[in-house]
Structure 1
């Protein structure tokens, strides 16, 4: 849909004030088509277009967690789910290895701890690709990752990951998650303080998934002492009975696949982290 037509609709419905007509395209941030609406020289609102299922899922996430200060405020959703409008989060989007343990602690206490359980009738996974069990979703991700990783890891490591998934306890923990909770979607102040999290790709699942996703999303400090303080802030209703080493290994496996596709220069660091966590089990 032409963005000028969207802008006209937003003016006609009173969502945007009539003087807000200047747009600034954003590229390379998501699979969506994204522009920022200017209020004079200030970046004010984001207009994001995508497939209706994607737009509807992101709108649901922002609406559900309207009270979470670190998230953008949902302003408007097109009735046909062609686009949505939300407030622009100002700040820096480059992560430079700030205090990762503190970053994860803030994520756990200021965002994840505010997550809400979702209805039993909802399935796990993405809204357009649901699974009956959480393990089914993780198994799907494992199979997709294995295709990419191939001989980067030995065959016995691939087999071990499948045993990890099969051995996960049935915790029946079901929350609406961000789903793409990595440092590439974090917004910081100049001194490195976390101020916002953008671009959700919502998943119904266990809150540990988002925290471990964030932990694995950067190459720095991939050690147990970095993540443990944040994990301890999630109560049993969110974490259940978990075995940290196995949960992190699964997150690392998914991240290694992502790394091969998008950040190959980081591969050695992630394979070293894989060995570190694997040694903690053996």
Structure 2
């Protein structure tokens, strides 16, 4: 077990030929398999040193290196030969709060990260790379079931059945999802770093394979503010590798929103009342579409 002393951390840096002296160590919350250290150096640089499962480190390192030209992602500086740890740059700012308007930070996310996504051409999988699914439908069905458990009686059985029906329509054919991309997989406001109400960083990837629209809608639904059609279309219009009808976009929101409200119950119950208002807004939009009522 690595003991996080200044001597040992500096020895590790010297071993990897990084010419900087660490003068302060702060332990952050980590995973069950490892731990995370925030390091400050004599040259006023700040780093993250993370110990974790080697497979998890490999997946995250691969994603960060694949999109190293994105100004929003941390930069990998070194990785252990056995992938038991790696070091990457720390992005200074606030997470979750003082975000500014969603349509503004969502456009930054699209321009500086989602538009840089590349196709995933390795094994034929969908969903989390460490827990792969055979189809995109299967991945979404599992997410919906997990949300239903978290929601309990907060949303009705009719809502659950409606979302299941929509997901079956939307995700029944993998070919209709388009190309598979390497996704960040956890693009929510809890993983966004802001400075002066501007998005400047995206941290803590959970790499997965799927359509780009998943990461986009995950971000859109990850907070209950500005969760309107106008915000949705303003940002989606600048997605360069996505061709999707606006009606389908609205229908996909209802699936993603159901799953997000389930997560809100578990992790951010303070957001629940605003999410319930958003749910009524979006469920009505979807049912209007079902009835052939023009909403655009």
TM-score, length-scaled by structure 2: 0.87
Q: Partners in 2 of 1:80 and 1:231 — Cα distance? A: 40
C-alpha deviations, 1:257-276, integer Å up to 9, x for none? Answer: 11111111211111111110
**Higher deviation after alignment, 132-141 or 87-96:** 87-96
Q: Partners in 2 of 1:276 and 1:94 — Cα distance? A: 23
Q: Which residue of 1 aligns with 2:184?
A: 178
Contact kept? 1:93, 1:186, Cα under 8 Å = yes
Contact kept? 1:177, 1:204, Cα under 8 Å = yes
Residues 3/120 of structure 1: CA separation in 2 closer, same or farther (3 Å cut):
same
2:229 aligned with 1:224, yes or no?
yes
Contact kept? 2:99, 2:105, Cα under 8 Å = no
Residues 128/78 of structure 1: CA separation in 2 closer, same or farther (3 Å cut):
same
Contact kept? 2:49, 2:88, Cα under 8 Å = yes
C-alpha deviations, 1:1-54, integer Å up to 9, x for none? Answer: 324386266234234336225312223x76662112211273421111222222
Q: 3-state SS of the aligned residue for 1:266?
A: helix
**Structure 1 unaligned residues grouped into runs of 5+:** none
Q: Which residue of 2 aligns with 1:269?
A: 274
C-alpha deviations, 1:104-124, integer Å up to 9, x for none? Answer: 111111110001111052411
**Structure 2 unaligned residues grouped into runs of 5+:** 288-296
Q: Partners in 2 of 1:179 and 1:239 — Cα distance? A: 20
2:209 aligned with 1:204, yes or no?
yes
Q: Partners in 1 of 2:67 and 2:134 — Cα distance? A: 24
**Higher deviation after alignment, 92-101 or 60-69:** 92-101
Q: Partners in 2 of 1:16 and 1:36 — Cα distance? A: 16
Q: Partners in 2 of 1:241 and 1:98 — Cα distance? A: 28
Q: Partners in 1 of 2:122 and 2:285 — Cα distance? A: 35
Q: Partners in 2 of 1:241 and 1:173 — Cα distance? A: 16
Residues 95/133 of structure 1: CA separation in 2 closer, same or farther (3 Å cut):
same
2:137 aligned with 1:135, yes or no?
yes
C-alpha deviations, 1:69-108, integer Å up to 9, x for none? Answer: 1111111222222221111112222422511111111111
Offset of residue 241 of structure 1: 5.0
Q: Which residue of 2 aligns with 1:121?
A: 123
Q: Which residue of 2 aligns with 1:215?
A: 220
Q: Which residue of 2 aligns with 1:93?
A: 95
Contact kept? 1:97, 1:220, Cα under 8 Å = no
C-alpha deviations, 1:169-205, integer Å up to 9, x for none? Answer: 532321111111111111122x211111111111111
Q: Which residue of 1 aligns with 2:13?
A: 11
Q: Which residue of 2 aligns with 1:102?
A: 104
2:39 aligned with 1:37, yes or no?
yes
Contact kept? 2:220, 2:227, Cα under 8 Å = yes
Q: Partners in 2 of 1:207 and 1:146 — Cα distance? A: 25
**Aligned equivalent of 1:248, options 250, 253, 258:** 253
Q: Partners in 1 of 2:170 and 2:96 — Cα distance? A: 34
RMSD (CA atoms): 2.1
